[in-house]
Structure 1
Amino acid sequence: LAEGATALVHGTTTGNLVEPSVLTDVPAGSALLQQEIFGPVVFLVPFDGEEEAVRIVNDTPYGLSGAVHTGDIERGVAFAKRIDTGMFHVNDGTVHDEPLVPFGGEKHSGLGRLNGETTVEAFTTIKWISVQHGRSGFPF
C-alpha cells in the first residue's frame, strides 16, 4: 500500500488466521510483483493481450505455480506452456497437489520435484547387495 497499491479487500491477522487481501493499482516496479507470497493475497494486474500477460507473469525470479481460467481449453494449455513455472493449471486453482504428480517450481522456487517416483529418485539411491552362501560352482 505504501508503494501506491489500492486494497479492494484488506484482510487482518488474528492469531494464526490471516484473512485474504485483494490489491489493485500495484505499480509495475513494485517489490510485491517480484516476491513469492505464500498467503491469501491476490494482485489484479491489467494487461493488453496475451503477449503482455506472458511477459508480466514471467517477469519474476520465481515460478512455483500458476493458473488461467478460460473457455478455450486449447488456448489455456498453449498459454500454460509459455509460462516459466513448475506447475500450471487450466481452469483450476494454483494450489493443487496430487501424491503421484511431481510438485515443484522453476527459477528461485526450488530445484527438483517431489511426490511419487520423483521423490523416490530424489531421496534414495539404488544399491545391490548380493549374498552367496557356500561355494559357487562354475560352470553352473
Structure 2
Amino acid sequence: MSVSFIRRIASPKKALTAAAVAAATAGMALSAAPAQAAPDAASSAQAAAHKMIPDSAQYNAFSKIVEHESGWNPTATNSSSGAYGLVQALPASKMASAGADWKTNPATQIKWGLDYMNSRYGSPTQAWNFWQANGWY
C-alpha cells in the first residue's frame, strides 16, 4: 500500500474527527448557555407588558431591565440567590402580593415588578437609570 493512498484515507477521518470534536464543543457551549424563555412565552409576556405599560419610554425601560434580568423568561431562577421570574424578585414569594399565580403568570410578575419599580424608584425609567449605574436594581 502506498503512503499517498493511506494519507487519502486518513485525511478524511481526521477531518471528520475534527468536525465531530467541533460539533461536540459547540453543543456543549450551547447547552451551557443560560436558559431563555421560549419565543412564544417571551412574546406573550412582552405583549402583556405593552398593555400594562402604555407609555413607550416606561415600557422600553421596563423591557431593558427584564431582558437583562431574565431574558423575558417567567420561570428564570438565579441558582445562587433564588431570585425568580421576569423581574428576579428576591425573595420570589414577594410576588404573591400581586396574585396567587405569580410562579406561572407573566402578567402577575409584570404587575408586581411595575409596582416595585414605581414605589422604589419612581418609575421604570428611573429604575433603569439605577440599573445602568449599578448593574442591579
TM-score, with normalisation over the residues of structure 1?
A: 0.21
Higher strand share: 1
- In proportion to residue count, which structure has more helix? 2
